[in-house]
Amino acid sequence: MAEPTESSTDEYDVIICGTDLIQSILSSALSRAGKKVLHCDGNEWYGGFDAVLYTGSTLDCFIEGCQDAAAAAAVRKSVSGFNKDYTESDADDGELELLPREKYADLRLHSQTFLPCDEQHTVHLPPAKESHELFENKEVESARIKEDTDLLADAPEQSTTTQHKDVSDQCILDGNFSLDISPDLIYASGDAVQGLVKSGVADYLEFKSLKGLHLLMGKDDTKKQRHTTRGSKNTESNESTSTSADDTFISYRVPCSKGDVFRSQLLSPVDKRRLMKFLQLISDYGLAQDEAGSNNDAETVDEETAPADDTLQTKEHPETVAAESASEDAMYSINERYLNKGRSLSRPQNKAKPSTSELDSLIRCIRDNVDFSDYLINVAKLPPRLCSVVIHALALAPFGRSQLDHAYTAMNGVNDLLRHVSALGRFGDTAFLIPMYGSGELSQAFCRSGAVYGSTYMLRRAPLSISLTVDGDGNSTVKSVTLSGEEHIGGFADVHTDDTSKKDVGCSHVIVPSTMLPRKLLACTSIRLRIYRRISILKGSLMSQQDNQDSEDTEQRYAVVIPPATHGLNNASAVHGIILDDSAFVAPARKGYTVLHLTTSVLESGECSVDTCLDILSKSAQLVLDSQCSNEDRAKECHHISFSYSIDIVKPSDAQPIASGLHICYRDTQSITCDYAFREAKRIFEQICPEADFLALAKKVEDSIVYKNNNDSDDERMVLSNALDMIQDGVGGVLKPVETVADDVVGSVQGELANAMLDESISAEEENIVEVQKTDKIVE
Amino acid sequence: MHGQKRSEYKSRLLNPEAASKLATKAQQWNALSHELLSQRKRLITPLNADAKPPSPKMLLTLTEKMLTVNPDPSHLWNIRREMLLHLLEKESSQFDVQPELSLTAHCLQRNPKAYSSWFHRKWSIAYMLSRGKTENQSNVLQSELDLCAQFLMLDERNFHCWNYRRFVVALLGSMAAKESAEINEIVTNNTAAAANLPSESYSGDWSSWMDLLSEDSTSKEILMGAQIVSDSTPKNLTSSLSKEKLNELIVSEWNFTSSKIQDNFSNGSAFHYRSKLISIVLEARLASDDETLDNAARLLRKQEKILSMAREEWEEILLNAIFTEPDDQTPWWYHRFIVAWAKPSLDLRDELGDSYNELVEDYESLLYEMADSLRELLEVEKENGLEGDAAERDESKGVKCKWAYLGLHLVLFSLFKLQRVDATELLCEAQECLDALIAIDPCRSERYKMLAAELSA
């Protein structure tokens, strides 16, 4: 693989722009399928918007990059005319220009306290707003990026409250943090786990279980509900307590499994019954679907092959058909067969056959595209409060009833629920796994495995434009991608940057994220959503041990959901929080820091201003703190950063593709899991390689793994032989204790095996890595 | 082996490699088995006085190895015990419990539900205590509790392990009882039980311990059978538990069942253990009370405490459990126990006089609350999302909630038996429950008819 040069006639099968998770999965999958892949990213680091940034190194670059963006854009404008209107400038040779690096997804930094801002930058920054000053520390509201398109331009001028001398008063971070731009969890069973295991990429990563999923809700109406169910004799005494409706928020553990429902303080007994009935109905539906799927694969299109975004509905609903054709046997055999799969929702063995009529009505609603919340209220007869729990805490939908242009249908809701419910009881107490060292590790791991299979990686080389050829009928086809010369974004001055010339690299497919394309191209087929994120570094433990008997265990690995339209927040979408500490290796060990990620989103076309959203996030941070901490050992925020970026959501439409060979990948709506990336990657993979197996292992690697699994050390036989030998020798005396013998045998066998495996994989990797190194763009 | 089809299980024999491996193993096992039995025979009944008898130590090692591979055959454990006793008799050495504990621990890891391994462990512990090995007895027992906790973490419904846990706790309890008996001569009013102590107290027998602790006859009804029979008599006992330690132990056991039930309430063993513990916990909670109360006041206090504990059990555990999964029968069994346990005994009427009526009133209100909740449960269960026709609805509601009807019947019948209010309404509703049960559970219709006969009697 020679280094592509300007004059090179080198053709790649696929050029992938950006190393976000979707693209990284794709580069691994495509190179496995034998495609020649060039993967480029303008950043210094892997991961794009899924990257994990490190304080003191890449985070600083990120922040400086954002701060420089406005200035840089201006420079570019004069130099290369980049900021001209993004259109297909020249119809003849079909040049599709991509957004310059700092404009991808319209990333904006709103505030941060990691870097002291210097004079130069503050000049063109609007002053910080007082309302953001939340906690005791003096925030340095420094960088607020001013761009020509900046909404902030209209924001009223505020009095300057922050002074530069405060920089010295900040708490100094003692240690490095790994901060995800998009923190993601993964479902303990589902598309992501399937992909990670099948591809062998899981070997590069480590995971821990999420300890709890919590729902932050007002206290008032739960109490009322609980007491109405009490016996008539005690009503008088309880009334006094139920009247105190106040605004205090309580974080409840989200009741997902049978055990959760049983323990939950959130639900009255009657609600428990209703929720359990509903959850079992959903899992029945899932089972019936599985059953139908395995009976006749041909006519079933299950979730994996369905469009990645559930909003991409086809006219038919294959799943519905499948569920209806599910044999009654499936319903009969549910109890026995699935008992071993975790006892999260399965019925007791003695339970009679479940009724099929409720399942029928669910299937009918799915077929009729009923709105999910309508279904919950009118058909499943859940009380409103429970509906909110189901939609936001169980299905984890960020929006409630149809707040986007598209509806949240019963089918979307049930699929989301099924993903959650079917991942329960696999590992730990929740349905989620946390990638250690930050979820940005995922894209790095996939890039690494892509390199093993022969992909070429180029960092610091941003794709600038895509060239198209246009035939006589006006159909355009992808011809090549122009890459920028090597550049770097702050820091890392020691990196060699001798190759500064632009390059044109030929290819037959290009994969590009929607957010890299000029907005105009996608305006009619997608909805633009803006994701707001605030990352806070807290000193102290955030979540208290309310439902864990083991008081020693103070590890912080939680997720929090604040439903939309929460009183006092008026948030348009749910606020999702992920809370991690050094147990997930995102904070320095034993220093007592907790990292809180808060995310919310708004429609870009909507009314919500930037300030409103930032306000929602800072209030949410306050709420999360208040709901957990007693006053004495309260966690304190010492640093934060807030930024926002845009994503596109595909609207169902039958618009023509822009060019053949051009594949646009879309991020999911606001979500706390990254399972969508695997579905989206698979969708695009199947367009490029319709026949091939997604993320398949190479034969060589597969063989060595089968070898690993098959070799069961037969210690039983060894013990027996040992005993026989003993009799033959007539030695009645001292022998090695049995267990040690067995252990020794097992140990040595495993040791050998491990060595063999290690040799295998190293040699396989070395080959390819050496090759990649030649191209001088090496994966760290 | 559970949940595995025999055909699937057998299919591994189709693979010649696996089959030959298994065949080799079987051959080895048979050879060893034969060798072991013949050696044992020669040892027990020597035919030829000249020949050197086989060494019992050798036999012990053989059983150890064979049991490591397959812990189930009880004759191997029998031979092992025989050899252990043989050795002790001949060489009058100390009985070392540790090898037995580690062997059984290993075997139980392989098969946590092997009756014979658990039995051997009980035997070893009981034998150790009977030999009066002087040190660390309570430490050994304490570590046994930890072992149980570990096994129950792996499978919270392993009833073998729950049984074993009760055995260990009974032993610890006996120690405490023994000690306080030595000091005070009697722990409780039950002098007869205290007199029985020497022969009974180390058998790990729950009921003998219960005799010591309980004052009245009510607890007798809920006694369980002997855990293990041992003719061993305890000797020098040095380590023991104080009364406070005992209370601590009881409370921690009670909390242990609570946490296991919180993990998974479909756990008959945990509920059963709870029903065994509840009376002792009651005593422990009463123990802190003022000693100056006279007998009647103390009785009243106890009955009030019983009622409040019953209410707690109902509200904190049972109510949530039956609304979460009404088809799970374990909480319903515990519900039956609680209803019976909370009932103020008729014997108390004479001693307590007027306050007895107050007690019954309290009990009655608890029952009414239960009835209300159960009616509500049945109401929700009958709900159906369908707007479809009535026939369809009836069909789907048919099989549901058998246990709620049974529970409601029990509550109503208990109310009826209190004979305080006009019974016709209660009887009528109870009859309706039974009618519904006959319809939805025809297999047991004769039982429901018998219950109906009780109602009309």
Looking at this predicted complex, what is its ipTM?
0.79
Least confident of A676-680, B135-139, B305-309: B135-139
Least confident of A389-393, A588-592, B108-112, B251-255: A588-592
Q: Give phi and psi for A11, each to the nearest 5.
A: -110, 135
Q: Does the CB of A738 have a partner CB in chain B at under 8 Å?
A: yes
Q: Which is it for the CA torsion A391, A395, A398, A404, positive or negative? A: negative
Domain count across chain B:
1
Least confident of A197-206, A492-501, B282-291, B365-374: A492-501
Identify the residue among A738, A741, A743 best suited for mutation to test binding to B, counting B beta carbons within 10 A and taking the highest. Answer: A738
Which pLDDT does position A58 carry in this prediction?
83
Residues from chain B that touch A379, judged by Cβ atoms under 8 A, are 385
Of B35, B54, B373, the CB nearest to A269: B373
Distance CA B150, CA A64 (A): 53
Enter the DSSP assignment of A566. Answer: -
User: Chain A: nearest CA to B132, how far in angstroms?
Assistant: 27
Q: What integer is the mean pLDDT of B441-451? A: 91
**Amino acid, res. A202:** A
Which pLDDT does position B448 carry in this prediction?
93
Across the interface, whether the CB atoms of A230 and B369 are under 8 A apart is answered: yes
Across the interface, whether the CB atoms of B262 and A262 are under 8 A apart is answered: yes
**What pLDDT, in 10s, does the model give residues B172-215?**
877 766 655 554 433 333 333 333 333 344 455 666 555 554 43
Domain range for B311:
289-456
Across the interface, whether the CB atoms of B397 and A355 are under 8 A apart is answered: yes
Q: What integer is the mean pLDDT of A280-304? A: 66
Which pLDDT does position B372 carry in this prediction?
94
**What pLDDT, in 10s, does the model give residues B391-435?**
444 444 445 688 999 999 999 999 998 877 777 888 899 999 999
Distance CA B327, CA A168 (A): 64
Residue B430 falls within a domain, yes or no?
A: yes
Enter the DSSP assignment of A673. Answer: B
Residues from chain A that touch B62, judged by Cβ atoms under 8 A, are 723, 726-727
User: Chain B: nearest CA to A732, how far in angstroms?
Assistant: 5
Distance CA A593, CA A177 (A): 9
Domains of chain A, by residue range, sit at 255-422, 699-774
Angle between helices B329-341 and B268-287 (to 10 degrees): 30
Name which residue leads in pLDDT, A431 or B178: A431
Across the interface, whether the CB atoms of B327 and A739 are under 8 A apart is answered: no
Please enumerate in sequence order all residues whose Cβ is within 8 A of that of B390, keeping only pairs 6 or more positions apart, or say none: none
If you average pLDDT over every residue of chain A, what do you get? 71
Please enumerate in sequence order all residues whose Cβ is within 8 A of that of A668, keeping only pairs 6 or more positions apart, or say none: A308, A309, A647, A676, A677, A680
Across the interface, whether the CB atoms of A339 and B35 are under 8 A apart is answered: no
Q: CA nearest A615: which of A21, A222, A134, A271?
A: A134
Which pLDDT does position A120 carry in this prediction?
38
Residue B221 pLDDT > 50: no
**What pLDDT, in 10s, does the model give residues A759-770?**
444 344 444 433
CA angle (A597 as vertex; A595, A599 as ends), nearest 5: 175
Q: What is the CA radius of gyration of chain A?
A: 28
Which pLDDT does position A174 carry in this prediction?
65
SS3 A599: strand
Which pLDDT does position A21 carry in this prediction?
94
Residue B332 falls within a domain, yes or no?
A: yes
> Which CATH number does the domain housing residue B312 bear?
1.25.40
Residue B425 falls within a domain, yes or no?
A: yes
Residues from chain B that touch A719, judged by Cβ atoms under 8 A, are 65, 68-69
Q: What integer is the mean pLDDT of B294-307? A: 86
**What pLDDT, in 10s, does the model give residues B87-112?**
888 766 678 888 999 999 999 988 88
Residue B391 falls within a domain, yes or no?
A: yes
Cβ under 8 Å to B: A residues 65-94: none
Chains A, B: CB pairs < 8 Å: 153
Supply B263's token pair.
């993990």
Q: Percentage of chain B surpassing pLDDT 90? A: 33
Which pLDDT does position A97 carry in this prediction?
84
If you average pLDDT over every residue of chain B, what do you get? 78
Least confident of A15-29, A151-165, A606-620: A151-165
Across the interface, whether the CB atoms of B325 and A348 are under 8 A apart is answered: yes
Q: Does the CB of A739 have a partner CB in chain B at under 8 Å?
A: yes
Supply B141's token pair.
């027992």
Least confident of A524-528, B39-43, B321-325: A524-528
Identify the residue among B100, B109, B325, B441 best suited for mutation to test binding to A, counting A beta carbons within 10 A and taking the highest. Answer: B325
Residues from chain B that touch A280, judged by Cβ atoms under 8 A, are none
Q: Percentage of chain B surpassing pLDDT 70? A: 77
Residue B356 falls within a domain, yes or no?
A: yes
Residues from chain B that touch A739, judged by Cβ atoms under 8 A, are 68, 102, 106
Provide the b/e sequence for A658-686 (b: ≥16 CB within 10 Å): bbebbbbbbbbbbbbbbbbbbbbbbbbbe
Distance CA A558, CA A541 (A): 11
Least confident of A175-179, B30-34, B214-218, B280-284: B214-218
Of B31, B69, B399, the CB nearest to A353: B399
CA atoms within 13 Å, Cβ hemisphere of A468: 21
Q: What integer is the mean pLDDT of A711-715? A: 60
Across the interface, whether the CB atoms of A229 and B321 are under 8 A apart is answered: no
Which pLDDT does position A459 carry in this prediction?
87
Residue B431 falls within a domain, yes or no?
A: yes
Least confident of A429-438, A589-598, B392-401: B392-401
Please enumerate in sequence order all residues whose Cβ is within 8 A of that of A298, keeping only pairs 6 or more positions apart, or say none: none
CA angle (A360 as vertex; A359, A364 as ends), nearest 5: 115
Q: Does the CB of A164 have a partner CB in chain B at under 8 Å?
A: no
Residue B65 pLDDT > 80: yes
Across the interface, whether the CB atoms of A261 and B65 are under 8 A apart is answered: no
Residue A312 pLDDT > 80: no
User: Chain B: nearest CA to A174, how far in angstroms?
Assistant: 39
Across the interface, whether the CB atoms of B68 and A229 are under 8 A apart is answered: no
Across the interface, whether the CB atoms of B61 and A726 are under 8 A apart is answered: yes
Q: Percentage of chain A surpassing pLDDT 70? A: 62
Residue B388 pLDDT > 80: no
Own/partner long-range contacts of B205-208 (Cβ < 8 Å, ≥24 apart): B205/B170, B206/B166, B206/B167, B206/B170, B206/B276, B208/B174
Of B32, B266, B388, the CB nearest to A724: B32
Which pLDDT does position B105 carry in this prediction?
93
Residue A778 pLDDT > 80: no
Strand partners, B419: none
Of A231, A261, A726, the CB nearest to B368: A231
Residue A338 pLDDT > 60: no
Which pLDDT does position A323 carry in this prediction?
37
SS3 A459: strand
Cβ under 8 Å to B: A residues 542-581: 549
Of A229, A357, A735, the CB nearest to B388: A357
Across the interface, whether the CB atoms of A233 and B369 are under 8 A apart is answered: yes
Residue B357 pLDDT > 70: yes
Residues from chain B that touch A720, judged by Cβ atoms under 8 A, are 25, 28-29, 32, 65-66, 69
Least confident of A233-237, B225-229, B286-290, B363-367: B225-229
The rounded Cα B36 to chain-centroid distance in angstroms is 36
Of A343, A719, A733, the CB nearest to B69: A719
Residue A130 pLDDT > 70: no
Residue A429 pLDDT > 70: yes
Residue B362 falls within a domain, yes or no?
A: yes
Distance CA A561, CA A388 (A): 11
Supply B259's token pair.
């946490």
Of B35, B264, B380, the CB nearest to A259: B264
Residue A625 pLDDT > 50: yes
Cβ under 8 Å to B: A residues 358-377: 358, 360-361
Across the interface, whether the CB atoms of A739 and B396 are under 8 A apart is answered: no
Supply A658's token pair.
């822009």
Q: Give phi and psi for A469, each to the nearest 5.
A: -105, 140
Of B35, B259, B264, the CB nearest to A549: B259
Of B25, B319, B365, the CB nearest to A716: B25
Distance CA A411, CA A402 (A): 13
Q: CA nearest A415: which of A275, A282, A563, A560?
A: A282
Across the interface, whether the CB atoms of A722 and B69 are under 8 A apart is answered: no
Least confident of A115-119, B42-46, B248-252: A115-119
Residue B224 falls within a domain, yes or no?
A: no
Supply A719's token pair.
């013990």
Q: Which residue of A has its CA nearest to B387?
A: A379
User: Chain B: nearest CA to A216, how far in angstroms?
Assistant: 22
Residues from chain B that touch A269, judged by Cβ atoms under 8 A, are 319-320, 323, 373, 376-377
Q: Does the CB of A223 have a partner CB in chain B at under 8 Å?
A: no
**What pLDDT, in 10s, does the model give residues A51-92?**
998 887 888 888 877 776 656 555 554 444 443 444 434 444
